[in-house]
Amino acid sequence: MEKVIVTGGAGFIGSHLSEALSDKGYQVIIIDNLSTGKIENLGPILKKSNVKFIKGSITDLQLLQEAFRGVRYVFHQAAIPSVPRSIENPEISHEANATGTLNVLLAAKDNKVGKIICASSSSVYGDTPTLPKQEDMPPNPQSPYAVSKLMGEYYCRVFQKVYALSAVCLRYFNVFGPRQDPLSQYSAVIPKFARKLAEGKPPVIFGDGEQTRDFTFVKDVVSANILAAESKATGIFNIGSGTRITINELVKLMGDHIRPVYEPSRPGDILHSLADITRARSFGYLPKYTIAEGLKETIRELK
């Protein structure tokens, strides 16, 4: 069994990815400090003989150096993933997302890891009005979170050029699905809405609700990570559905009997987002879930 690392493997996306990798027969080492991840996200896979959990942080370079020995792929998912949180506390966001990524790359380089697959974000595009977003567009980050993710991309590019470390950066577009925390004040829009609807309360929309998003189901994101790792792909790729809806339309899709409450837009929020996924198709990425199908699975688990 080839050995792989999943940083942030107890988180929302990381736990789904860890599960899929273990099912494929990889020897999976999960590193997570459980600051935002949850051990219960890993459920029964922790009992599998090919899964190992290490409680630790990507800010601990020595831990990473030891864990990365003999590793084929590193799936780097660990991050503090919130735009509002990064605005409240940019230092912590930078330490986890930028310095943490540098540590992961250093350990990967020193241990001659085959490839790193790094989670980036569509937030690096910022408020550039051009749609759909293409990978060669100039970045225009609007928050400390977006800046930290862009720094991670630049570090990956430099480590590939200078140290010959193969690297893929996947720019995720509004990922949603089961295990996404609906209770945090920093929760993403879909789990927040689902929680409000379950409680019979109106969801809160920041702005007029006509902003658009490209929502991507978590199982499609998992597929993209594994395809990118097992291919010869390197560089930056958008990972989205290639479709978009307004937040007002999202509310109707989730429950058209509920009237939302509108509040002022938040700093760092962008108006429109849509992925051009042409480049990712080159390594076989093809989203299989519509937003309606993904919502059905997500709401079923939340209930």
The token pair at 51 is: 């899964």
How far, in Å, CA of 30 to CA of 9, rounded? 5
- Residue with tokens 């459980």, as numbered in its chain: 34
Helices (H) and strands (E) in the chain — how many of each? 10, 13
Return the C-alpha torsion angle 22, 214, 194, 249, nearest 10: -150
The residue from 145, 155, 172, 285 that is catalytic is 145
- Contact present, 289 and 222 (Cβ < 8 Å): no
Q: Write down the H helix ranges in the chain.
A: 12-23, 61-67, 83-88, 90-94, 100-110, 144-163, 189-198, 218-230, 247-255, 291-302
Provide the token pair at 63: 């831990």
* Annotation marks residue 145 as catalytic: yes
CA 146 to chain centre: 12
- Catalytic site positions: 145
